[in-house]
A and B are shown apart, each in its own frame.
Chain A
Amino acid sequence: MVPYVAIAVLFVLSTGVAVMIMMVGSLFGPRRPTPRKLMPYESGMVPVGRAMQRMPIRFYLIATLFIIFDIEVIFLFPWALVYRQLGVFGLLEMFTFLALLVAGFVYVWRKGALEWE
């Protein structure tokens, strides 16, 4: 239990400090709202339309495929870092992995999941 006490103290302290800073800001800070300041923040763009609107279902498939392939490709980075230490072992393992990835890609392609129309 003892090593976790420090974490609990840290948790309480950080929450306390955050709450305190926000309270001090809202109590003593000046507040002069303008319509522009109250606008939702969209990285500097003027917001267009409402947040809740209908999206084409095709994005769902594309997003799913993106996530799957993206995560699989991320596995290549650690391999690239330790490529020299792993040697032929890593190479063979990675080629097996890539072969499976390509099989999935061929499947998706032939099934027409990449066609927009």
Chain B
Amino acid sequence: MERFLAQNWTVIQPALFLVFTGLIVLLVDLWLKEEEREWLAYFSLVGFGGAGVIVVRQWLAVRGLETPITGFGGMMVLDTLGLLFQMLFFLVGFLAVLLAPGYLTRRRLQRGEFYALLLFSTAGMSLLAGAQDLIMLFLGIEVLSIPLYILAGFARPRLDSEEASLKYFLLGAFATGFLLYGTALLYGATGTTAFEALRASEAAAAPRENVMFMAGIALLLVGLGFKISMAPFHQWTPDVYEGAPTPVTAFMVAATKAGGMVALIRLLYWGLGPADDVWRPLLGVLAAVTMTWGNVGALLQRNVKRMLAYSSIAHAGYLLIGVLSGGVGFVAVLVYLLIYALTNLGAFGVILLLEDGEREALDIESYRGLARFHPGAALLMSVFLLSLAGFPPTAGFFGKFLLFTAGISAGLTWLVVVAVLNSVLSVFYYARVIVKMYMQEPVETPAFSRSWLVAGALAVAAVGVVLLGLYPTVVVRLITA
């Protein structure tokens, strides 16, 4: 009994809560009729909300501590960074659930598994946020990914959804292979998987003399790079984001990226901190390539979901600046991810509402003249797109400002210059949609569906984007307090 309690269960309390709610959803669903299933959405909202309350309470308790609490023999840690990331995951999960019920009912996809898988995937992210061991990192990544492989194909038998699922699964499994191989090589080079011991190992002190250690770092970067869609491991992103059901895409864009980022931060700074002269230049170049590739790719897209997928690749590049900056960079990454998550959830919410019978109106041409018929939706979409482009006074501007100042103070001026040039480039394709909505004549009246839940999610996202743009220091002060 003592050993059972000595594991310090508090460190995985939010994840446990999510898994438990997910299991209840999964089992209750078996006895529900089709039209009663919408209640499962409300129940999973309770799940995300409850996990959020747990994390906020833990955060309040942990904030003043000198040494962070660890559990499970040092495999997990309970610190402010991990807890803040978890708050972000649960917020995204909550908003993604709000987007889902109407969409699923209209497409006759209302099944309990949807919410259960969303909860399980978020539990994986929650484990990642506190990971202090390569094994824990791997476990978190897998718990995060496997539900998403299924969710991407949730619109079965629609072909593009099935394609998205299979593509994501095959490439994801391949990337997991890299991750595992990298873990094995690091273990071979140092004899440990724990971050603390890795940091103190001889190999980390002089990485260039140990080929096995260097190869391990490279393979781990490939595996995690796939998850955050870092170029050149991003090719799956447009196809999967396009084919997956829109609520799932919204969740993936906002949450998976955050999960990958926290994994990268944990691995690089907690595990491989002393070896930073190896990964720093490599990641810097990859960041520049990622943002450029993403933005150029987005320029060429005619489909709104694909365009936002490429834009998410570009944003991964910007976020890597924050990761590379360390210290203040983490705050910048967190705030940027929060803004980016709200903005993307909002944009995908509007896309989801613009429904055209069987399919969403996804072609960019179907946004022509939207402002005439649905001024509210057009205005919201414009705000979100401007925020993605980084226009003041929206929140996106402030997020970029934080990231870039962190980059400059860390001596990454060349990378920040590349990023600024890229932001200028990105304005073109974001503005193209706004021009279509306001300045062109509509071909036909765009179909539009209404839903109170989606409206609620959009309101939260819009208010967040505007308020964070007007009073940006509030959230920074809250985080760094």
Contacts and interface: CB of A to CB of B under 8 A. Distances in A.
Interface of A: 87-89, 92-93, 100, 103, 106-107, 110-111
B30 A92 contact: no
Contacts of B4: 88-89, 92-93
Nearest to A93: B4
Interface string B4-18: 100000000000000
22 contacts: A87-B1, A88-B1, A88-B4, A89-B1, A89-B2, A89-B3, A89-B4, A92-B1, A92-B4, A93-B4, A100-B23, A103-B23, A103-B26, A103-B27, A106-B27, A106-B30, A107-B26, A107-B27, A107-B30, A110-B30, A110-B31, A111-B30
Contacts of B2: 89
Contacts of B27: 103, 106-107
Given A89-B2, A93-B4, 15 more contacts: A87-B1, A88-B1, A88-B4, A89-B1, A89-B3, A89-B4, A92-B1, A92-B4, A103-B23, A103-B26, A106-B27, A106-B30, A107-B26, A110-B30, A110-B31
Interface string B176-194: 0000000000000000000
Contacts, number: 22
Contacts of A88: 1, 4
A106 B24 CA distance: 12
B330 to A, nearest CB: 34
A89 B4 CA distance: 5
Determine chain A's interface SS by DSSP, over half rule: helix
Give the most central of A89, A100, A110: most B CB within 10 Å: A89
A82 B439 CA distance: 74
Nearest to B116: A107
Contacts of A110: 30-31
Nearest to A109: B30
A30 to B, nearest CB: 49
A87 B1 CA distance: 8
B32 to A, nearest CB: 11
A111 B1 CA distance: 37
Contacts of B3: 89
Contacts of A106: 27, 30
Nearest to B5: A89
Contacts of A107: 26-27, 30
A111 B29 CA distance: 10
Interface in B21-40: 23, 26-27, 30-31
A100 B2 CA distance: 23
A110 B26 CA distance: 11
Nearest to A86: B3
Nearest to A110: B30
Counting from the closest, the 5 A-B pairs by CB-CB distance are A110-B30, A89-B3, A88-B1, A89-B4, A92-B4
Contacts of B31: 110
A57 to B, nearest CB: 16
Interface string B126-160: 00000000000000000000000000000000000
Contacts of B23: 100, 103
A107 B302 CA distance: 42
A91 to B, nearest CB: 9
Nearest to A111: B30
Nearest to A106: B27
A110 B2 CA distance: 38
B110 to A, nearest CB: 16
A93 B6 CA distance: 13
B34 to A, nearest CB: 15
Contacts of A87: 1
B143 to A, nearest CB: 13
B65 to A, nearest CB: 28
Nearest to A100: B23
Give the most central of B1, B4, B27, B30: most A CB within 10 Å: B4
Contacts of A103: 23, 26-27
Contacts of A100: 23
Contacts of A111: 30
Interface in B437-462: none
Contacts of A93: 4
Contacts of A89: 1-4
A87 B5 CA distance: 13
A95 to B, nearest CB: 11
A100 B22 CA distance: 12
A88 B2 CA distance: 9
A42 B372 CA distance: 75
A106 B3 CA distance: 31
A1 to B, nearest CB: 12
A61 B152 CA distance: 21
A88 B4 CA distance: 8
A89 to B, nearest CB: 4
A41 to B, nearest CB: 35
Interface string B243-260: 000000000000000000
A92 B26 CA distance: 23
A44 to B, nearest CB: 40
B27 to A, nearest CB: 6
A34 B27 CA distance: 60
B71 to A, nearest CB: 15
A107 B26 CA distance: 8
A102 B452 CA distance: 37
A69 B27 CA distance: 18
